[in-house]
Each structure stands twice: as structure tokens, then as C-alpha cells.
């Protein structure tokens, strides 16, 4: 049991003891002014009515704040899910762009290597050896890995 529960139990016991000790006072009839009318009622009834009204007001305020909190939590959850979806789409777009750029650079490197090999073969006067084999496509589980930024060489300034 938590401390709040223990405090409520202790308060209820103390309040119950005070009511039992002063029962004759609580049972006496008092005149209550309701602004529009006056009435006679036992003091315990008046106290219970006041406690009931305070409890109803507290319950209404709590329900209202709980509803607002639930609505805000629902809105924040939707916003978070939308942001997560956008982030995943942006990541997929960046990976796709990097893949296209990498494929383009590798194709340029292959073409330049082919030119160099052709030139070297022509200079040495012999037939060129078979082309360098095309690289194998990446396995599906490696396609989604992001390229490390430090492995991408910086662009040469013009």
C-alpha cells in the first residue's frame, strides 16, 4: 500500500473517532440559511451535503482534466507517428539518393579503368584481358544499411 492510501485510512479513522466523540453535537438540529429559505436540519446532514457537493465539484474537475489529458495524449501520439513516418521516408529517400550517387560514381570509375586498361594494352601492343567483372548486387539485408558518412569522399572544389 502506498503512502497516500495510508494517509487516507489514518484521516478516516481520526475523523470517525471525532464524529463518535461528538455525536450529540452532530445530532442536534441547527438552522440553515439557504439564502432563499431557512430550514432546520441535523448538523450531520448539513456536513454530509456540503461534503457531497465538494466531492461532485472535485469529480467534475477531475473528469474534465482527464478528458483534456487523454485528448492531448491522442493528438501527441498522432503527431509522433506522423513524424516517425516522415523520418522513415526521408531516410529511405537519402539512402536511395546515396545509392544512385554511388552507382553513378562507380560506373564512372569503371569506365575510367576500362579506358586506362585499353590505353595500357594499346601502348604495350597486346590484346586487352577480359573486363573487370561487374560487382555483385548487394544482399537484401545490406541494401537498407546507411552508408557511413566518413567513407564518402568529399567533392573536389572547382
* 23-61 pLDDT per residue, tens: 888 888 888 887 888 889 888 888 888 899 999 999 999
Q: How far apart are CA 38 and CA 54, in angstroms?
A: 21
**With bands split at pLDDT 50, 70 and 90, how would you rate the model's confidence at 110?**
very high
- Asked if pLDDT for residue 67 goes beyond 60, the answer is yes
Q: How far apart are CA 35 and CA 38, in angstroms?
A: 7
Other CB atoms within 10 A of residue 44 CB: 16
User: Which one is predicted more confidently, 154 or 117?
Assistant: 117
Q: Which long-range contacts (CB under 8 A, 24 or more apart) does 55-58 make?
A: none
- Asked if pLDDT for residue 9 goes beyond 70, the answer is yes
Q: How far apart are CA 5 and CA 19, in angstroms?
A: 21
Query: Helix, strand, or coil here: 75?
Result: helix
φ and ψ of 40, to 5 deg:
-105, 130
What is the average pLDDT value for the chain, to the nearest integer? 83
| Phi-psi sector, 69: left (phi>0), alpha (psi -120 to 50), beta | alpha
- Asked if pLDDT for residue 116 goes beyond 60, the answer is yes
Amino acid at each position: 500500500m502506498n503512502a497516500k492510501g495510508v494517509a487516507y485510512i489514518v484521516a478516516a479513522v481520526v475523523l470517525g473517532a471525532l464524529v463518535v466523540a461528538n455525536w450529540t453535537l452532530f445530532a442536534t438540529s441547527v438552522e440553515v440559511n439557504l439564502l432563499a429559505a431557512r430550514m432546520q436540519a441535523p448538523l450531520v446532514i448539513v456536513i454530509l451535503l456540503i461534503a457531497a457537493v465538494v466531492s461532485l465539484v472535485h469529480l467534475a474537475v477531475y473528469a474534465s482534466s482527464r478528458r483534456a489529458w487523454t485528448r492531448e495524449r491522442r493528438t501527441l501520439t498522432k503527431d509522433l507517428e506522423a513524424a516517425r513516418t516522415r523520418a522513415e521516408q526521408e531516410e529511405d529517400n537519402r539512402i536511395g539518393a546515396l545509392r544512385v550517387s554511388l552507382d553513378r560514381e562507380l560506373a564512372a570509375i569503371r569506365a575510367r579503368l576500362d579506358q586506362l586498361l585499353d590505353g595500357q594494352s594499346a601502348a604495350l601492343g597486346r590484346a586487352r584481358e577480359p573486363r573487370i567483372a561487374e560487382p555483385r548486387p548487394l544482399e537484401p539485408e545490406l541494401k537498407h544499411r546507411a552508408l557511413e558518412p566518413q567513407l564518402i569522399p568529399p567533392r573536389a572544389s572547382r
